[in-house]
Structure 1
C-alpha cells in the first residue's frame, strides 16, 4: 500500500521535500511506501528546479485537499492565509497534515488542533522550529519525563547572522542587513526576522509543548535588533558577553503557575554554550529536572535542513498509520491535547539583569545621580563604570544584579528627571542572560 502525499507549495522547501521523496534509496525503508500523488503550485509556467510528471502538478490546491486518494497534506505555502484555511479544510476532509508554518500554528494553533483532535488526524510540524534540528518531538517524547524549567533559543538564523557579522567585522546593522538580503539570508522585507516576530512564533510553539499550556501570541514580550550598534557589541565583548537575539520561556520563580515568555537582544556570557552559536545556525538550550541541561544545535533553515524535518514528520505519520488503529483517536505522544492558556507574567514583574549605557554631561553629581536613582528604586548595581568619552560626554556603562523590570524602568524615568534632560541620555538598554 502506498501512502499518497498532496504537496502544497513547490518553493525551496517544497522542492527539497520532493527531492527526498523521489530518491528514497539509502534512506528509511518506509519512504519506499510514500508517493507524491499531486503537487499544488501558484503557476504552471514558472521554471522549476525539479522535474515532475506534468499530470500531477496543478494550481487547484483545494482539489488536492478534496482528493480521496490523498492521505497526507504537506503544507509548505507559508503565511497565515490561505494556509490556515487549507489546513482546516484538509482536517475536515480527514487528511493528516505536515507543515513547516510556524506563524499559522503560533497564531491559530488552538483552532487547528481542536479541529484535528475532533477529526482524529495528526498535525506534525517539526520543521516549523529550528529547521532541521529535531526539537519538537524530543520535547514531547525523549524529554517527556522531565519537568522543563526553561527553554532558551537562538531560533532565527537571519538575526544571528547579522549580529555575528556586526561583531566579527565591526560593521553597522544596515550594511550587514543589506548583505544578508543579497545572500538570501534575509527577505526583501526583513520585518518578521529583525523585529522578532519569527522568533516569537517559534517560542510560543516551544513553550506550549514544554509547559503543557497554550500561549497567547500577544502575551509574548517582543523586541528586535534594529537598535543594536557596534558600540554596544564592543562594550559587551569587553565585559565578557556576546549579544544574541534570545527567545526565552521559563517558569516564573515566584509564581510557579505563571510563565515568563519573551524575545529580545540579550547579553550572553561567553561561558554559556549559546554564546558560541554564530552565523545562520540555531540552537535551543533546554533545562529540566532531572535531566539538567541539554542543547540542540544545527542549521535553522535552508532547503535540505527544513525538508529533512518535513519528511521525518511524513515518516512518523506513515509509521503511525501502519501500526495503530486510528479509529481510536490520535496517539497521545504525537497529538496536542492541552486546552488551557498559560498565565504569562506581566513584563514589569519579570526579573532579570540589565546592561545600560549612558552619555553623561560633564557636570558634578551626574554619576552620583545615577547611583541614587537606581538605589531609590530597588535596583542593585553589579558595576558602574565610566569607559570613555563621545565628544564632550562621558560614556557610562551600568550592569545590574537581578531586578524587577518595573523597578528598573522607574529608575530610568527618575534619571531622566535630572535638572536638565541634556545632562544624561540613555544610549541603550539590553537584558543580560
Structure 2
C-alpha cells in the first residue's frame, strides 16, 4: 500500500472535531477506499486543554497554524478556522507555498482571495479543494468542476443559507413573525448570536461569487453581487405570496447575458409548484442550467458539523486517491491565469417580473394614480389587487398588491419613488422579485 497521507487540521471547532472523529473512526474503511491510510499527524486550535471528546495523544500540537502549515510533517493542510484574513489566509498561503495540498471550508477567504490562492496552488503543483465552502455537504463544487466539463452554464441559482431558509420556512408554515423565528433559530443553534452576516445576505453572496467563477470562467467578484437580506420580510408578505401561489426564499442567482454576468442575492418569490419551493428548513439547494445537461438540482444539508466535515473528508479522500505525476484539476475549473475579468451585465428586464406591496390611504383616486405611475415608467401590470384590512378593520391603510410583467429594476424603483411622492403611502413599499423556476 502507498505511504499514508498525513494531514494537519487547523481549527478544532464543530467541523474540525467532526472531521477528526470521522477520520479516526473510519480509518480502515478509508484506507480500503483510497488505497492508502489517512493519518492525522498535526493539529492547531485556540485551546489545547479543551475537552473535545477525543484524545490528541500522538498528534503534534501547534499553537501557531502558520507554523504548522509551513513546518509540520504533513501532506495536506486542512483550514477550518474561518475568516477572510489571517491567520487563515496566512496559513493557507504558507501551506501552498511549501508544496502542501490545502482543503478549506472557508468561503469568506475564497471569495476575497480565491484566485490568488488558486494561482499559488497551480504554480506549486498542489490542490486547493473547497467543496465544503459552498452548500455544506452538497457536492456542487465537484459537479461544476468535473461532472459538467464541456457544458456551457447559462444560469445558476439556489438556497445557499440554511439560517434564512429556516426562518422563512417557519414564518410560512407556522404563521410566525420574523423576530420570533430568528430567536428560535438562535436557540436551536441555526443562527449565530449576531446573525447579521446570514440574514443580511452576505454569506450567500460569498458562496454565490465562488459558484459564479466556476460557472462562467470569470475571476471571483464578491463585491459585484447585489445583496438584499430578509430582515424586511413580514408575515403579511408571506401571506400575500401564498395567496398568489408563491413561496418566498432567499436566493442567490447568477446568469450570463450578452453584456456580462449578473449576480444577485435577494428575497425571491418562487411558484409553489417549483422544486425549489419545496426545500424547507436548514436544507440548501442549487440549480444549474446548462446547454448539454439541461437542468440539474442538488439538494441536501447545507451546514452543520457532520455535513461540512463530510465534504471536507471527500476532498481529503480525493487527494489520497491521486498519485504522483497525476494532473490536478484547476481549483476554479480552469487555470487561474485564464479566468476572464469579471464584467458586470448591463441592466435588463427581469423575466419573472416583480411583486410590489403598498400600504395606502383609503381615498379616491389612489388606484388610478398607482396605475398611471406604473404606465409612465413603461411597466405593464399582470395584476393589481386590494387586500382586505387585517381582522376586518373598518378604517386605516389598505394594502395594494401589484404583480408586474418583465421589467427592469430601475423602472420599478422609479415608479415606486414617484408613488411615494404622492403622499398617500403609509410606511415603506415592499418590492420582491419573482423568479422563473422549473416546475416540480
What's the TM-score, normalizing by structure 2? Answer: 0.92
1:58 aligns with 2:57: no
Please state whether the residue corresponding to 2:83 is helix, strand or coil: coil
Q: CA deviation at 1:87?
A: 0.7
Conserved? CA contact 1:131–1:299, under 8 Å: yes
Q: CA deviation at 1:58?
A: 3.0
Q: Hey, what's the Cα distance between the residues in 2 that align with 1:113 and 1:332?
A: 7
Partner residue, 1:376? 376
Q: Hey, what's the Cα distance between the residues in 1 that align with 2:377 and 2:262?
A: 22
Q: 1:406 to 1:23 in 2, by over 3 A?
A: same
Partner residue, 2:343? 343
Partner residue, 1:147? 152
Conserved? CA contact 2:118–2:330, under 8 Å: no
Q: Hey, what's the Cα distance between the residues in 2 that align with 1:423 and 1:154?
A: 33
Partner residue, 1:417? 421
1:393 aligns with 2:392: no
Conserved? CA contact 2:18–2:305, under 8 Å: yes
1:79 aligns with 2:83: yes
Partner residue, 2:305? 303
Conserved? CA contact 1:159–1:245, under 8 Å: yes
Q: Counterparts of 1:228-307 in structure 2 under 5 Å?
A: 228-252=233-257, 255=258, 257-307=259-309
Please state whether the residue corresponding to 2:389 is helix, strand or coil: strand
1:331 aligns with 2:335: no
Conserved? CA contact 2:214–2:332, under 8 Å: no
Aligned-residue Cα RMSD (Å) equals 1.8
Partner residue, 1:405? 409
Q: CA deviation at 1:26?
A: 3.8
The Cα offsets for residues 365-413 of structure 1, whole Å up to 9 and x where unpaired, read as 1101111111111111110011112642221100111101111111111
Q: CA deviation at 1:141?
A: 1.4
Q: Hey, what's the Cα distance between the residues in 2 that align with 1:159 and 1:332?
A: 32
Q: Hey, what's the Cα distance between the residues in 2 that align with 1:156 and 1:267?
A: 16
The Cα offsets for residues 272-294 of structure 1, whole Å up to 9 and x where unpaired, read as 10000000000001111121111
Q: Counterparts of 1:179-190 in structure 2 under 5 Å?
A: 179-190=184-195
Bigger shift: residues 381-390 or 307-316: 381-390
Which portions of structure 1, spanning 4 or more consecutive aligned residues, are displaced by more than 6 angstroms? none
Partner residue, 2:438? none
Partner residue, 1:92? 97
The Cα offsets for residues 16-48 of structure 1, whole Å up to 9 and x where unpaired, read as 111121122445522752110101111112221
Q: Hey, what's the Cα distance between the residues in 1 that align with 2:382 and 2:53?
A: 56
Q: Hey, what's the Cα distance between the residues in 2 that align with 1:9 and 1:226?
A: 31
Q: CA deviation at 1:208?
A: 0.6
Q: Hey, what's the Cα distance between the residues in 2 that align with 1:68 and 1:45?
A: 20
- 1:203 paired residue among 198, 208, 221: 208
Conserved? CA contact 2:416–2:429, under 8 Å: no
Q: CA deviation at 1:212?
A: 0.8
Conserved? CA contact 1:415–1:424, under 8 Å: no
Partner residue, 1:169? 174
Count of residues paired in the alignment? 423
Q: CA deviation at 1:55?
A: 4.7
Conserved? CA contact 2:118–2:332, under 8 Å: no
Q: Hey, what's the Cα distance between the residues in 1 that align with 2:139 and 2:369?
A: 50
Conserved? CA contact 2:114–2:220, under 8 Å: no
Partner residue, 1:19? 21
The Cα offsets for residues 128-173 of structure 1, whole Å up to 9 and x where unpaired, read as 0111111101111111121111111101000000111111111111
Unaligned runs of 5+ in 2: 436-440
Conserved? CA contact 2:36–2:320, under 8 Å: no
Q: Hey, what's the Cα distance between the residues in 2 that align with 1:341 and 1:86?
A: 27
Conserved? CA contact 2:136–2:303, under 8 Å: yes
Partner residue, 1:119? 124
Q: Hey, what's the Cα distance between the residues in 2 that align with 1:340 and 1:241?
A: 37
Please state whether the residue corresponding to 1:166 is helix, strand or coil: helix
